[in-house]
């Protein structure tokens, strides 16, 4: 009887172990999914294309300041690329500013902005990912202050 129980235990354990192995195909390489790069593998804020205009307002869409100059776009690109994703989920109150980025292909990204004081960090949140924030370094906050105020 012991031999039968031992045999069944080993067989069951073997089935479980073989069933839990991942399926790998070493000859086939797959390209990473862009959305995976945006949210999982990359800690920087991603700009999704060629910028057409950027608007910033204190109330959503009310009296926005609109930027359409390439020099300003480059400044915003450097600000976005310097913004680092913060770990964990967040729950913050209403933003100080609303920032909309419109691309030449008519796509749009919207962000909430909490502007720090001169020499402090600022915070950005993509409105499509409201549980994730990105901190903007203090040097970039100074650039943001110059643009916004």
pLDDT at 18: 66
Pseudo-torsion of CA 135, 114, 132, 59, nearest 10°? -150
> Per-residue b/e over 21-44, b at no fewer than 16 CB within 10 Å?
eeeeeeeeeeeeeeeeebeeeeee
| Residue 133: inside a domain | yes
pLDDT given at position 31: 37
The total domain count for the chain is: 1
Helices 70-82 and 138-148: angle between axes, nearest 10 degrees:
150
Does 131 reside within a domain?
yes
Q: What tens digit of pLDDT does each residue of 107-137 get?
A: 999 999 999 999 999 999 999 888 889 999 9
| pLDDT at 20 (0 to 100) | 67
* 130: CATH: 2.60.40.4400
pLDDT in tens, 137-149: 999 999 999 998 7
Give a yes or no: residue 8 inside a domain: no
- For 8-59, how does the pLDDT look when each residue is reduced to its tens digit (9 = 90+)? 778 766 767 666 665 554 444 343 333 333 434 457 777 878 999 999 999 8
Structural domain containing residue 110:
37-148
Measure CA 11 to chain center.
Answer: 46
pLDDT of residue 72: 94
Contact 127, 95 (CB under 8 A): no
Query: What DSSP string describes 81-120?
Result: HH-EEPSS-------SEEEEEEETTS-EEEEEEEPPPTTS
pTM higher than the cut 0.75: no
What backbone torsions phi and psi does residue 59 show, to the nearest 5 degrees? Answer: -115, 140
Query: Would you say residue 11 lies in a domain?
Result: no
Give domain status of residue 43, yes or no.
Answer: yes
**Domain for residue 72, yes or no?**
yes
The 3-state DSSP class for residue 67 equals: strand
Residues 60-103: pLDDT tens digits?
Answer: 778 899 999 999 999 999 999 999 998 877 778 789 999 999 99
In a domain, 23, yes or no: no
Residue 141: inside a domain: yes
Residue 60, token pair as written in the block: 């959503």
């Amino acid at each position: 009887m012991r031999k039968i129980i031992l045999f069944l235990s080993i067989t069951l354990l073997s089935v479980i172990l073989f069933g839990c192995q991942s399926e790998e195909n070493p000859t086939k390489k797959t390209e990473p999914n862009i959305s995976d790069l945006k949210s999982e593998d990359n800690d920087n804020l991603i700009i999704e294309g060629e910028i057409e205009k950027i608007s910033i307002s204190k109330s959503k869409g009310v009296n926005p300041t609109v930027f359409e100059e390439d020099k300003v776009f480059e400044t915003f690109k450097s600000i976005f690329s310097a913004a680092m994703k913060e770990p964990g989920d967040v729950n913050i109150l209403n933003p100080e500013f609303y920032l909309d980025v419109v691309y030449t292909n008519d796509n749009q990204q919207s962000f909430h902005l909490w502007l720090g004081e001169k020499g402090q960090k600022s915070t950005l949140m993509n409105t499509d990912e409201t549980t994730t924030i990105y901190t903007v370094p203090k040097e970039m906050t100074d650039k943001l202050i110059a643009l916004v105020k």
